[in-house]
Every structure is written in C-alpha cells, then in structure tokens.
Structure 1
Amino acid sequence: MSLEWFDRVCAELQDHLESICEEYDQVGQMTIERAAKHPRIEFFVETEDVDTEELDRDFFCTLFFDPQNEEFYVDSFDVDSGHTAKIILSDIEEIIDEVHTSLHDYINGEAHYAEDGVYLQSEGLDEEDCETYKDDLEEEYYEAEQINEDDIFEEIDVEWSTPEVTAFKHEDEVEVTYQFGVVQETGDGVLRRVNRIWTTDDELIKDESHFIFSKEEASTIIAMIASHMDQLSEFDF
C-alpha cells in the first residue's frame, strides 16, 4: 500500500482548482486527513453563524483514497435504490471536475446530502457556467453534515512502541511530548505529538496531532532535519 498518489494529488489540487474557478479561489478551502484508514481530502466554505458570530465550516465535497487499490473515490447515494455507491475517480481531471461541480451545486443550493455525509451525485458542470456565478458571501448556504474530528484517529489501529517522551518542558507552563507507534494495517510509522499548556488560572490546554510516514520516507525526514538543525532557533520565552 502506498500514499504516493494521494500526496501528489494533495500537492497539486489546490493550485489547479484556483486556476480554473474564480469562485473556488475566493471561497473554497480544503483540509487533508492523512491519518484515517482511508485518507481523505475535504472541501469546505467558511460561513458565519448569525447568532454567535462564529465561523462554521460547510463541507461540499469529500474525496476518499483507498490505499490498498491506490485510487480516489467519492460515496454517492442512489435515491431510487436506497444504496450507497462508490464512484472511482481515475485521474486528476476527474477529481478536479468532481470538486468543481460540487462547489457550484453548493453555491446554487442544489447540493443534497444523505446520512453520514454521503453526497447525492449531480449532473456534470459546464465549464462555461463559471462565468455566470457571482461572488455573494452573504448568501444562505446549505449546511452539510460535519465530521467529528475527534473520531478520526480512532479509525486506525496503532501499536505504540514507546511511552510519551518529553521533548521539551518549561517550568510548569509548557510541555511537549512525542510517542512513536506503528500502524498495524499498513506498517507505517506514527509520531504522536502532545502539546500541553497551563494557563495562569491553572487550566490545562492540550493539543494533540499525529504524523504518519512510510519506511521509505523515514530516512529522508531524518536526513533533512539533521542537515538543517543549525538553522533552527531555541524556544524563546
């Protein structure tokens, strides 16, 4: 299993979408979840809640990647049969077209969603239609179901090889720890980073992140860090 195709698409997708669609350049954003069993790229528009004035994310498209078969796909729901289907996207052009179409369906209020964030597929979008859309960020957008980010890393089985190792600590204010593990299904390595900050009110703020990498990547990562250590600065309090 390899994530090379996934990483290549992630690196190129944003620039391609911004270049072909003015609307995406203005409002479209994407987030990458590489740690999931089936990594995914999620596309969203930020909207403001009129009651709380807080920013929300309205997701309009999700691309999944099957590392076993090294292919991208989207889940669609057939209203007539009541079944969910997997639609394979074989190349970068099909991937771009899927995201592009989903964005304009969302802007026009034509996007529909079934349970669990599965999208009802729409007809293809004519490229000439891009010129007809106007930028109206105050438009009332259709609210898509959002994914609970706390559940993402629970989707993969990791065997932790080390306990949490303290990499940095400053008195009773900041502590950064790392833990190394191996993904059981793929054999990839995992670095778990936990950043703990204690406020003046003794409130603990905990931020946790994970980085997954293959055996082939490990030596490159180590070499790059080692050869550029002299460019790094120590933490300044």
Structure 2
Amino acid sequence: MSLEWFDRVCGELQDYMESICEEYDEMGHITVDRAAKHPRIECFVEMEDNEREFFCTLFFDPHNEEFYMEAFDLETEQTSRTLLPDIEDIIEAVHESFHDFLDEFELVDEIEVEEEDEEDTILLEDDADLMDDLEDEDYEEIIVDVEWTTPEVMAYTYLDEVEVSYQFGVIHDTGDGILRRVNRIKTEDNELLEDESNFIFSKEEAGTIIELIENNMETMDGFDM
C-alpha cells in the first residue's frame, strides 16, 4: 500500500482548482485527513460566520491506490462509489461539486464557465500527461454493499411538523460506519417532504466524534429553549 499518489494530489489539487475557476480561487479550501483508514480530502467554503460548509469529499483507497467519491442512492438504499482514476477526473468532480454547491446556496446569481487559454490550462508542464483529457467524464460506478445493523430510530419530532430519524450500518468492503439521516417535513398543504443524507466515518474516528458531541451538548440550543 502506498500514499504517494494521495500526497501528490493533496499537494497540487488546490493550485489546479484556483487556476481554472475564479470563484473557487476566491472561496474554495481543502483539508486533509491522512490518518483515516481511507485517507480523504474534504473541500469546503468558509462562510461569514466562520462555519465551514463542505461540498465535496474525496476518499483514497491505499490498497488499490485510487481516489473515489461516495453517494447514497435513495431508491436502492445503497451507497454508490465513483472511481476517479486520473487527476483530470478528480478536478472535474471537485469543480462540478463546487458549482452545484454555489447554485444550491445561492451564493452567486449566475455561474459562467469560462474556457481558459491553452497556456493557462497546462497547469503543470512536467505532468502534462496527467491532464491530456479534461473532458473525459466516463467514471466507473460501483454499488457499495451496506449492512444496516439497526432499524430506523426516531431522534426527535417537533409539533408534528418535523421528524428526524437515524439508521446505522456498516460498509462491507471498507468496514466503515455509515449514519443515514431521514428528515421528514409536513408542509402547510399537508404534503410530506422527505430528505435523506448519509455520513461515513471510520472506526478510528468514532470515539472522537462521540467525545466532541458529549463535550459540547451544553452549548447547543433545543426547540424547548
């Protein structure tokens, strides 16, 4: 197993993104977790209140020496993995996730993708072989098998209008834990809206996450404040 490819991308990704995207140059940042079972790069925007909004997470499989992204399929209730074999795939994935984030949070009125001059698109001359096909988006999709070890557990309800539930599972091929969050909201028209998200973490991270929550519970406000 080797982290050479991971370290190389960590050292160059920020420069790549800043050179091809003006908005990212002004707002985008990355943080690196090298100690996890599957090291990862997390991309985020720092908001006005100094809170970080994460918009993209790149995982690295050290055994196969490849990057991948994960997403939860609401229909199949399984996690899909998108392999990112080359640096152009990684940049394209981060760039697309960043602009999806901007559109979702309405941080810009209109996003225009501008083509850079040929001189600007050659980001590293000595690594030109890694950047010869930026328009290739033929990623390989793999369905990740999740074993749900608990039923859906109600976390809280509020005025019969909001309901939040959680479910815990384990990803077979990595052994990582996954928390599935289901948020149900009843509208004024009595329509039920449902939103699902998932959070993946390694066993090594679990203790830290639990400790952070326990040590900061008193600083949080609830509905009955």
Instruction: Please give the TM-score of this superposition, normalised by the length of structure 2.
Output: 0.50
Instruction: Please give the TM-score of this superposition, normalised by the length of structure 1.
Output: 0.48
Larger Rg: 1
